[in-house]
Structure 1
Amino acid sequence: MRKEYDFSKGKRGAVIPSHGKTRITIYLDDEIFDKFREQTEMTGIGYQTLINEVLKKYLQSPCDQPLTQGDLRRILREELSLRSPSL
C-alpha cells in the first residue's frame, strides 16, 4: 500500500453507471410496505418489483377523471380520522 493516494481527480457517485434503473431511498408507510411484503410471499416476486409495477400502472392509467364531491368528502374523513385531536 502507498502512504498517500491522490484523489484530486476523483468523482462522487457510482463507479459503474446503471442504465434503465435508478437507486433511491424512499420512506413508505408501514402498512403499505407490509402489504407488498405479503404479496411478495404469495407471488414470489420481490417487493421492489411489485412497487415498480404498481407505479407504472398508475402512470399509464388515464388521470382525466375529475375528483367528485363524494370522493373529496371520503378522503377528508379518512385523513381527519387519522389525525389525533389537538386539544
Structure 2
Amino acid sequence: MSNNSDPLFDRYAEMDFSDAKPVAEIPALAKLQAEHGGKSRITMRVDNDTLAIFKARAEMSGGNYQTLMNEALRQFAQGITLADVVRETIRKELHQA
C-alpha cells in the first residue's frame, strides 16, 4: 500500500507536472475554485498522538487523515457528540435491517 492515503495517488504518481501552472494563473479555474472551493489552507500544531490516531484511522478506512480531522472539527463546531453519531448509526442500521 502507498504511504499516500489519497486513492488517486497511484494513478497520477508518474505524471509530469513540472510545467503546471497555479490555479490562480488560469482565470477560469480560479473562478471555479472561488465558487466551489470552500476550504482554506491553514497551519496548526497537533499533538503527535492525536495525529497518529487520525492517520491510523485513515489508513484503515482508505481515506485521508485531513478529511477525517476536518469532519471531526465540523462535528465539534456543530455540537455533535460521539453519542449522537452512535445513535444515528444505530438508527440507520436498524432501519436497513
> Taking structure 2 as the reference length, what is the TM-score of the superposition?
0.45
Considering Cα pairs closer than 8 Å and 6+ residues apart, tell me whether 1 or 2 has the greater RCO: 2
Larger relative helix fraction: 2
Query: Which of these two proteins has the greater Rg computed from alpha carbons?
Result: 1
